[in-house]
Structure 1
Amino acid sequence: MRSLPLTLGARLLPVAVLAAAGVAMTTTPDSEARPKPSAHSPRPSTSAPSAPSSGAPVDGSSGAPVDGQGDDTAAARYPKPPAKPCATLPAGTVKDLVPGAPAAGTVLTTSDATRRSGCSWHALSGFDYRWLDITYDVSAAAATRARSEQGDGPSTSVPGLGDQGSVSLNVTTDDKQRIREAVVVARRANAVVTVTYNGGDFETQEAAGTDEIRQGALTAAKKALSALDG
């Protein structure tokens, strides 16, 4: 059996060190609710999109309001994000997607808990590494960001995922280790759920399978959306 690459082994073993690798949600008032990896995490970074411009959001081609905007009922549907974001995914889902991770997860920190909340799970099971996080954003500009907040790869629409949903896939390489990541952005009324799921095999240095990562991210997104309504 191959050993872990030296740099990855130093970061990942023992597992307790991996579990202690911190993440922090961006905290500026107009920033995205996207968690950012710590310097010690093997998770590939994702680029945060630019803050939306001020003014009423409109469709660039027709000048029509963005879906869900201008609807007072939709705007007021979710006054705040889930107070316990780590409880929004069933323990069984966490076990399936992130083997070896504590179901309790790690709450992501934010400067404004009335607008954003999130949770992260990550673990190394044998040589298989998986990272999952979910974030909620119920800020006034959430629907606007949902149109542009994606991962590094091309995104595709996901019909039936909230009022508006999309998924993007990307593969990064760090010290010959390939990591595949899926980012799902789903909007329901004024709430935006962002799910990031990635993984790789540190024995073969190959990225996790496309279908596994894509479907895993979508499964988590559906559960996270359902939790909005309790």
Structure 2
Amino acid sequence: SPQTSAPATGAAAPRYAKPPEEACTVLPGSMIKDLVPGAKTAGNELKSSDLNRRTGCSWHALDDFDYRWLDIAYDVKSVAGKQKSEGGSAVPGLGDDASVTEKTTEDDDQGIREAVVTVHQDNATVTVTYNGGDFESHKAAGSDDIRKGAISAARKALAALDG
């Protein structure tokens, strides 16, 4: 019988050769000002021993009594292949697979709410961590704000992989 598929020539080439070189420029300044009021838009580059595989950036600030932290990390593997997220709630329409986990911590009577979005797209993983709290009321930041902020930052960070 005739063969309908091409012979296997090994694994497919990975979609992404490396993460964005300037991880601190993947989010527009307006988004940083919105998500992390008072932060310098330049951010802090993640230190990595292999910048061809891992890059990232973080922004944090205390604006009056309102604290926010936003962190983006890229991990690009050298082999292609879909990955699945472990745990969390699914985030439809983001990458090949995406999930968000949320938690609230109370340290020394201070509440901090955190959302972590993990996005898999072919051979790349983008992880966005966003958290915050009010140091005057000692309450954690609102769940909706933190969750939506993390997801919108993840969308921009993922788009930056494609240049």
For normalisation by structure 2, the TM-score amounts to 0.89
Look up the match of 1:105: 43
Counterpart secondary structure, 1:109: coil
Contact 2:15 2:80 in 1 (8 A): no
Counterpart secondary structure, 1:72: coil
Give the percent of matched residue pairs that are identical in Structure 1 and Structure 2: 58
Contact 1:138 1:191 in 2 (8 A): yes
Residue 94 in structure 1 maps to residue 32 in structure 2: yes
Look up the match of 1:163: 96
Give matches, 1:1-230, under 5 Å: 72-73=12-13, 76-140=14-78, 146-148=84-86, 155-230=88-163
Q: Which amino acid aligns with 1:167?
A: V
Q: Distance in 2 between matches of 1:196 and 1:146?
A: 18
Q: CA RMSD in A?
A: 1.8
Q: Which amino acid aligns with 1:226?
A: A
- CA positional deviation for 1:146: 4.9
Q: Distance in 2 between matches of 1:110 and 1:163?
A: 25
Contact 1:134 1:224 in 2 (8 A): yes
- CA positional deviation for 1:147: 2.5
Q: Distance in 2 between matches of 1:167 and 1:142?
A: 23
Counterpart secondary structure, 1:83: coil
Q: Which amino acid aligns with 1:168?
A: T
Contact 2:83 2:120 in 1 (8 A): no
Contact 1:171 1:181 in 2 (8 A): yes
How many residues end up aligned between the 2 structures? 154
Structure 1 pair 198–157 and aligned structure 2 pair: CA distance change class (3 A)? same
Q: Which amino acid aligns with 1:98?
A: V
After superposition, the C-alpha distances for 1:25-56 in whole angstroms (9 at most, x for unaligned) are: xxxxxxxxxxxxxxxxxxxxxxxxxxxxxxxx
After superposition, the C-alpha distances for 1:104-139 in whole angstroms (9 at most, x for unaligned) are: 000010111110000000000000000000000002
Q: Distance in 2 between matches of 1:141 and 1:209?
A: 39
Unaligned runs of 5+ in 2: 1-9
Higher strand share: 2
Unaligned runs of 5+ in 1: 1-69, 149-153
Q: Distance in 2 between matches of 1:90 and 1:180?
A: 23
- The list of structure 1 runs, each at least 4 consecutive aligned residues, that deviate by more than 3 angstroms after superposition, is 140-146
